[in-house]
Structure 1
Amino acid sequence: MNSFEIYNEMEDNLQAIYRSRLLTEILLSLNESSRKLSQLREITGSTSQAIIPKLRKLEEDHLIETKEREYCLTPIEKIVASGVADSFATFGTINKFKYFWSMHYMEGIPTPLLNKIGYLYNSKVIYDRRTKILNVYSNQLKTIKEADHIYGISSVITEGYADSISERVKEGVPVKLIVPLHVAEELKQSPYTEKLDVLKSYKNFQLISKNEDLKMGLIVTDKCLALSLHKKSGIEYDITTGLFSSDPKAIEWGERLFGYYKVHSEAKLRGNYAL
């Protein structure tokens, strides 16, 4: 049975959730925590007379239950409510940053993480402006400077970026970087080869080269996510636009993206470095 057939079979149940604003708000609220009736009134802005029939219907359908005078979701309804919450976060993130997504190359983000793009809802997009040249780059360097650990994917390299990374490594900050082969080749040239030679003995530095083009720039730390992508053509890296977030869920998303490419890298270099 395909998705269209499932929808037709479950249409009434689906419409019952999405058609009723109050029912949706109750489910989303209980998905976060159990609530008293007074709390549901405050959250939804509705009266007891409006809320109680919805609660009774949910109880009859074994979707919610009462424990110590608080309403909570049954285990099975937690699955439904979580799915509803995820769908709103997904739609919200796509709509909120519609221009960013539409103008950039998305194919480098693996499907499992595209499906969790709602984790990025509490983010902001930073642009370079006439009055703020290198605004994105400056915020990336700030992210590096403030980090207690750094995971990165670099599809381009600059001296400023290399110097910032080198400084943090020397300060004892754990750093793991993934670079495509064309960047690895650049790192064999001056002045980068000298900088790498200095880092050679630092066990908190790991450099991984990947045998394919990486069409993104990623910095994910304990405090922040910074994501930049290639322009929509997939040819040119966009240095003028970046998505930034300090939300724990966005940081988790970034760590999973880094982990995906780390696992799939053909060359995994532990401890020191080798190119």
Structure 2
Amino acid sequence: MDDDVQAIYRSRLLTEILLSLNEGSKKLSQLREITGSTSQAIIPKLRKLEADHLIETKEHEYFLTSAGKIVASGIDDSFVTFWTINKFKHFWLRHYLEGIPSPLLKEIGCLYESEVIMDKGMKILNVYNNQLKMLKEADHIYGISSVVTEGYADSISERVKEGIPIELIVPFHVAGELKLSPYVEKLAALKDYENFKLMVMDEDIKVGLIVTDKRLSFPEITRPVISTLSDVTWITGWEEMLGFIITSSGLREIELIFNCLSIVRVSE
């Protein structure tokens, strides 16, 4: 099995055949046009794939089998992941990838068609203002934050009151700050809004991440600029994935006890 897998990755033609069939059935003439190879070169590869039960033929057309679809999808994902890492290699080198949940890293190929937008200015205020603008324009907001500011809290509070769905994760030390003024009053004002969820985790969070329906903000760890990868077609997938992590990763939702204005963790 290992030899078969290696043979596929070593052969450009085998890979091209599988990837093209992953988009739909093809005739031999179509495979010739797509790969730029002759029938004499393609036919032995097709026979090998048939012998491995990855493709089948019907009325002179080639189809992927169920197993073939799995293999072809895996190849497609691995290539897209490589292309994405290579396309944005300078971006990844300046960011703390270890802070991104592993399920999201596995889907990093979704970012290939996006673009990196960076502030030219070096002032931290540029980052801050752009993040506030990003929150103001969003229709959905998911976030992981290791710090809290009054301006950030005001922006979140305003969007919650406008009915925007917002889910945030903070480390426990930030939850402690939220028990103090002015944050505890701001949170108390949101107690009846079902579109707002705030969760706490015990682990130290080294990365800040904001995901909206339009953009992803992932500040650099080496200098204070805002970086976003923006494309609605993929951001929805990452938004949903982050939402899944929020709801299923064992995080404890913060419960506001308003009669004593404190924050406690709900037991798992």
Same fold (TM over 0.5): yes
CA distance in 2, matches of 1:266, 1:20: 45
CA drift at 1:74: 0.8
In structure 2, the CA distance between the partners of 1:49 and 1:133, relative to structure 1 (3 Å rule), is farther
CA distance in 1, matches of 2:44, 2:70: 22
| Counterpart code for 1:140 | Q
Residue of structure 1 in register with 2:203 after alignment:
212
**Residue of structure 2 aligned with 1:244, choices 229, 234, 242:** 229
2:213 touches 2:239 (CA, 8 Å); kept in 1?
no
CA drift at 1:138: 4.8
Aligned pairs for 1:80-91 within 5 A: 80-91=71-82
Residue of structure 1 in register with 2:146 after alignment:
155
In structure 2, the CA distance between the partners of 1:109 and 1:132, relative to structure 1 (3 Å rule), is closer
Residue of structure 2 in register with 1:10 after alignment:
2
CA distance in 1, matches of 2:19, 2:60: 19
Residue of structure 1 in register with 2:175 after alignment:
184
CA drift at 1:165: 1.7
1:128 touches 1:134 (CA, 8 Å); kept in 2?
no
> Quick check: 1:269 aligned with 2:254?
yes
Residue of structure 2 in register with 1:227 after alignment:
218
CA distance in 2, matches of 1:136, 1:23: 46
CA drift at 1:63: 1.9
Provide the aligned C-alpha RMSD in A.
3.3
In structure 2, the CA distance between the partners of 1:104 and 1:225, relative to structure 1 (3 Å rule), is closer
CA distance in 2, matches of 1:140, 1:149: 14
Residue of structure 2 in register with 1:35 after alignment:
26
Residue of structure 1 in register with 2:166 after alignment:
175
2:17 touches 2:35 (CA, 8 Å); kept in 1?
yes
**Residue of structure 2 aligned with 1:253, choices 232, 235, 238:** 238
CA distance in 1, matches of 2:35, 2:126: 40
Provide the secondary structure at the position in 1 that maps to 2:189. Answer: helix
Residue of structure 2 in register with 1:119 after alignment:
110
CA drift at 1:189: 3.9
In structure 2, the CA distance between the partners of 1:194 and 1:17, relative to structure 1 (3 Å rule), is same
1:205 touches 1:271 (CA, 8 Å); kept in 2?
no
- The alignment's TM-score, normalised by the length of structure 2, stands at 0.77
Residue of structure 1 in register with 2:266 after alignment:
none
Mean alpha-carbon deviation: is it higher for 80-89 or for 99-108? 99-108
What is the percentage of aligned positions where both structures have the same residue? 64
